[in-house]
């Protein structure tokens, strides 16, 4: 079967699942709400970074992006849906590629919208404190934030495909990005920059002082995502439906 109709069918699955649409809405709502709150808070911290502060909402919001990617894949492992999908599309690699594309496109578009709105409300709250942000820094934050969110969604999709469970994937990834990476960071020094979440978040900062820069950090997150997707593709190809 050609790729286009396969992609269309996968898009229909995502569009008609309320939980997935809800995850994308939560990504937007949570991110903008937290950014608005952060923008209205004090800026007395000597380490104050206006870009990072304005985009603070993406940190809790990324949980919704992770949930979107994991649930979009894990839905195939309920009620024999994967067997039906693979009967229609015997080429497992083509099916998995279509699934990932159907995840990536809406995640990226909503991610861009979310990052732009978060920056707008965050800057509005910061007022003159954000006056020093250049157009280039803001554009990098918006574009980089959108890319970061889609990478995290795809990372979760790969882990869910490998584990064949969205709950298991979320049970690993969410505690990691909320707790473990910060605990490890306290003990690991600059090595923490190479963790998938912390590396990608460098693109949300006005200035970076570590080994990685904004785009190289995002590339590290991309490498983690590629590894997770490769593992997920292996699982789809080799394991029974």
Q: Where are the domains of the chain?
A: 3-238
Q: Residue 2: what pLDDT? A: 81
Residue 44 has pLDDT above 60, yes or no: no
Lowest mean pLDDT among 86-90, 96-100, 213-217: 86-90
pLDDT class of 127 with cuts at 50, 70, 90: confident
Q: Which residue has the higher pLDDT, 239 or 71?
A: 71
Alpha helices in the chain (DSSP H): 3-16, 18-39, 50-54, 58-74, 81-88, 92-126, 135-163, 166-175, 181-188, 196-200, 214-238
Q: Which of 41-55, 80-94, 166-180, 213-227 has the lowest mean pLDDT?
A: 41-55
Q: What is the pLDDT of residue 185?
A: 62
What pLDDT, on a 0 to 100 scale, did the predictor assign at position 43?
55
Q: What is the DSSP string of 142-200?
A: HHHHHHHHHHHHHHHHHHHHHHT-HHHHHHHHHHIIIIIHHHHHHHHGGGGGGSHHHHH
Burial class (CB in 10 A: 0-12, 13-18, 19+), 120: middle
Query: For residue 38, which of 21, 24, 55 has the smallest C-alpha distance?
Result: 55
The pLDDT of residue 180 is above 80: no
């Amino acid at each position: 079967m050609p790729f286009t109709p396969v992609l269309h069918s996968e898009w229909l699955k995502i569009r008609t699942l309320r939980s997935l649409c809800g995850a994308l809405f939560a990504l937007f709502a949570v991110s903008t709400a937290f950014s608005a709150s952060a923008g209205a808070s004090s800026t007395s911290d000597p380490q104050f970074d206006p870009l990072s502060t304005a985009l603070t909402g993406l940190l809790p919001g990324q949980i919704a992006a992770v949930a979107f990617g994991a649930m979009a894949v894990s839905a195939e492992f309920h009620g024999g849906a994967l067997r039906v999908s693979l009967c229609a599309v015997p080429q497992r690699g083509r099916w998995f590629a279509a699934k990932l594309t159907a995840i990536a496109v809406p995640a990226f578009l909503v991610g861009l919208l979310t990052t732009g709105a978060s920056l707008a409300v965050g800057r509005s709250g910061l007022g003159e404190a954000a006056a020093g942000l250049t157009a280039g820094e803001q554009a990098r934050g918006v574009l980089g934030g959108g890319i970061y969110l889609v990478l995290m969604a795809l990372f979760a999709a790969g882990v869910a495909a490998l584990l064949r469970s969205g709950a298991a994937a979320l049970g690993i990834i969410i505690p990691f990005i909320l707790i473990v990476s910060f605990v490890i960071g306290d003990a690991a020094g600059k090595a923490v920059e190479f963790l998938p979440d912390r590396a990608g978040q460098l693109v949300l900062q006005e200035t970076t002082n570590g080994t990685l820069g904004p785009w190289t950090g995002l590339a590290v997150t991309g490498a983690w995502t590629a590894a997770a997707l490769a593992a997920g593709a292996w699982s789809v190809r080799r394991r029974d439906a």
